[in-house]
Chain A
C-alpha cells in the first residue's frame, strides 16, 4: 500500500548508508579508506563528497589497517570499508592494531553466504569471522538495517572510546542479491 509519508522504519531500511554516515560523522571520523564493494557504494559516495574527511582508495585492504593506525597516531579517527574477501588480505597487518591497541573500526559487507552466484566468494566468507577472531578482533554482525545502525553506533564507541579493534559484518541478506 502506498503511503505519501514513509514511516521511520521504511526510511531506515531504504537508507541505512546515510544513517551510517551520520553516525560516523557524529563519532568524528576524519579519515575513510576502502576497497570498493557494491554494498558500500553509497557510503563511499557520501564520504568522498565530504571535504572534512580524507578518503583513500586502496589497492589491498591491509593498507587501510596501517592508515588507521597512522591516523590515530596523528589524533584522527579512521574507518575502513571492505567486503569479506578482503578480510583475508588484512590478517598480518591486524597484528599492528592488536599489539598496539589501536582503535579500529572495519565495516565488512559479506559475500558468499546468502543467494551467492559466485562460488569463489564462499571459502573466504566462511573464514571471515573465525580469522578475524583468531587475530584478536571483536566481531559484531547485523542482519537488518535497524540492527546495523545500532551496531555501528555501538562499535564506533567501543573502538574510539575504548581502544578496541572491531569488525562489523554486514549480512549479505541485508545487502541484497547481486544482479548478474
Chain B
C-alpha cells in the first residue's frame, strides 16, 4: 500500500507557482481550479469548470501555438484519468514546453470523496513514461514540490508529467469567474490578441 499523503494541496500549489514568471496555466475542473485561483488570479490562467479530461489537451494546443512559452496543465487525478488517451496523444506530439502536474488526492473530491484509481495502484507517472514523456516524477513533500518547481523552470526536450500526492481534504473554495468567454478573451489579450 502507498503511504498516506500528508501534503496540503494549497501549500503545494503555492510552492509550485511561487515564481511562475510568464508561464501559462490551464486548470482542470474542481479543486485544481480553486487551487490555482487561491494563489492569485492571473491573466495567464485559463480555469476549467467542465470539459473533464480536457485540461492537458487544451495545454497541448496552447503549447503548440506558443512554443516560446512554458505551459502548465494543473489538474487532478480524476480529471487526468478521464483523459488517459490524451497522454498517448501528447507523448506522440512531444511538445517541449508542456508540463502536466496532477494534484493527486486519490479521490473524486468534488462529488463526495469517493476513492479513485490512483489510490488503488494505478500510477499516472508510469503511464506517462510508457507514452514517451521526457520526464516523470512524484512529489510527496513541500521540499520535493519546491525542487519540482525548479525543474519545471528548466527546458525540456519533451513533455513532462509530475504527480503531487496530497491529503484528501477540501479546503475552502476559491472561486474564479465561471464566464469562459471573459476568461478566454482576457487570456488572449494577455498574449496580445484582440477579441473578435
Contacts and interface: CB of A to CB of B under 8 A. Distances in A.
Contacts of B26: 70
Interface residues of B, number: 37
B39 interface: no
Interface stretch (B9-17, B51-59, B142-150): B51-59
**Residue in A66, A68, A93 with the greatest tally of chain B CB atoms within 10 Å:** A66
Given A67-B57, A99-B50, A59 B64 contact: no
A73 B46 contact: yes
A166 interface: no
Nearest to B60: A67
A95 B50 contact: yes
B87 to A, nearest CB: 9
Interface string A127-144: 000000000000000000
Given A100-B184, A101-B181, A74 B85 contact: no
Contacts of B1: none
Interface residues of A, number: 34
B188 interface: yes
A145 to B, nearest CB: 30
Contact of A31 (B61, B89, B181): B61
B52 A31 contact: no
B110 to A, nearest CB: 16
A69 B61 contact: yes
Interface in A54-86: 54, 56-60, 62-63, 65-76, 78
Contact of A57 (B63, B89, B180): B89
A69 B26 CA distance: 11
B191 A75 contact: yes
A68 B46 CA distance: 14
B168 to A, nearest CB: 25
Interface of B: 24, 26, 46, 48, 50-55, 57-66, 83, 85-86, 88-89, 92-93, 180-181, 183-184, 187-188, 191-193, 196
24 contacts: A56-B64, A57-B92, A58-B85, A59-B86, A59-B89, A60-B85, A63-B57, A63-B86, A66-B51, A66-B53, A66-B55, A66-B57, A67-B57, A70-B65, A73-B62, A75-B191, A75-B192, A95-B51, A96-B58, A96-B180, A99-B180, A102-B184, A161-B196, A162-B196
Closest CB pairs A-B (n = 6):
A70-B61, A74-B65, A59-B85, A66-B54, A66-B57, A100-B180
